[in-house]
Amino acid sequence: MASFPLDDIRRAAEAKYGSTDIELGDETVRLLNPLRLPKAKRTELSQLQDHMGGDGADQEELLSEAIRLVADTSQSAEKLLAAVNGDLALLAEIFDRYGRGTQVGEASASQD
């Protein structure tokens, strides 16, 4: 029977499902992989993503709320959003990189 130390499994999970990290000067904001979020936050993120394609959807508000959901802390989410300052192109780029980093089976952007 195969036996694996839990620490090895943790390292493998972090490599495969790690965060997308964004550096803000001397601070790093971690955007957690959806699989690392509590179920309620995963559900809320999925609902936000469903609304993003809707007619009249406020993309800036939806992307900002998504960052608040996936950031490791509310303080770091607010710092990132303050740095972005409502720039929809920046928000879209952050989420594009986040999406690429959270693809199942791929390492996160922070592992490069």
pLDDT in tens, 5-31: 999 999 999 888 999 999 999 999 999
What pLDDT is stored for residue 15 in this prediction? 87
Q: Where is pLDDT greater, at 65 or 15?
A: 65
User: Are the C-beta atoms of residues 79 and 29 closer than 8 Å to each other?
Assistant: yes
Answer yes or no: is pLDDT of 41 > 80: yes
Gap between the Cα atoms of 98 and 104, Å rounded: 12
